[in-house]
Structure 1
Amino acid sequence: MTASPSSGTAASDDSTANSRNLPRTAWANGSAMMREYYDHEWGLPVISEAGLYERVCLEGFQAGLSWATILARRDAFRRAFADFDPDVVAKYTDQTVEELLQDASIIRSRPKIMAAIGNARATLELREAAEQDPMLQGFSLPLQDGDSLQIASGLPALVWSHAPETTPSPTRADEVPTQSPESVALARALKKHGFRFVGPTTIFALMEAVGIVDTHWVGSHKRAVSKIYAPDGHRHAFVAD
């Protein structure tokens, strides 16, 4: 998610003063929904194929809109796109598209709906391509606590192989980048493999959301939550399977 600065004022419907007063990135205090997302999801590693396919699609649907708009409709998107199962969505027909364009619970954009279907098909093609392409094959990413992430072949390997060796260490909003050399490279790679609505800024937001980079502010209670990066911002090297 591309962070949009908010007032930082906690909403009155939060349950406890302690929760309201936790140090957070500014946009996370925009509403109870955003705080819940920040506290329990944003920046935690997402490594499954379906999970990454979902995030690619939702970030694409966000284009020109706020993340709050998408997050409020996430359950509806999941219903509309079969819990983002690429095997199912890849079989959507023209009739399915027309039905989705009548669904007021999601974003009724034909280009974005078509992109989600096309991205499902591209995800399946990456599975097949991984059998021959070493760059698409799985690997392990050691974590700071001695555990590791097992990155599967295909879309997960393509996305996570672009994890930078170091992550930013922002202390205020203007120190949080909106793209990086890695997001530019990943956007280019995804487009090469047939994905759409995957520009460098959109992909950097994806990388933030799924833990590939850590842009939680220094001092935030969620800084280093992914366990990928050490306090100095460096990660361990990939380990080939």
Structure 2
Amino acid sequence: MLKKHLKFNTLFAVIFILQLLSEYNHELIRLKYTTKPLIVLSLLLMLTVGTRLKGRFHKRIFTGLLFALAGDILLMLGDNPAYFMYGLGAFLICHICYISAFYLDFRSAPELDKKGARIAILMCAFFGIGFYFYIRPHLGPMRLPVLAYTFVISLMMMMAAFRNLRVNRSSFLFILFGAICFLVSDALLALNKFVIQFDYAGVFIMAAYMAAQYLITMGAVDRKLINLYPKQ
């Protein structure tokens, strides 16, 4: 995968490093505003060129990336609570688009890997419930939005796990680890915003976020269904 898309991977690595540099050094605000939209824009281009957006799966991932781009821009506009809420809403829709795409793969053979499905359900439920109740005392009026967001991000990781045995191994692993990175990024963001601020939070949050979007996109580019419903 890395050698196959060497030019794009090199470009994304440059964007990745520059974005982390701007998060580390807050004086590089112009660099941050330049590189942050490029994260998703480059992935949109890669997904379009790599798949030509054939089928509903790739179209839903593409739509999710568009909402992620909107979320990135809204969160760049400052600490205004309204922008934060709009950004949260955009990323919520992004996750729902990803869930709907992953569901297509699960539906291609829903009878497979029932044991794995039960494990995924238990792990995601444990994380979602445990994490929410840990940060709940710090949320105030944000309790309901964060509850909804926690449910959706946990469901996204669960649906990514449900793709097991239904797609090629590399696509499954890329998207599963992408979903896990998304979960880590969102958890760090919530901890930093609502519980306790920590040094270099932006660096860790953005590193996990960029890894998540990259892995999900490349997993989509590499996707091959093993059990296929017509016109998926």
TM-score (norm 1): 0.29
Structure with the largest fraction of helix? 2
Structure with the largest fraction of strand? 1
TM-score (norm 2): 0.30
Structure scoring higher RCO (CA < 8 A, sep ≥ 6) equals 1
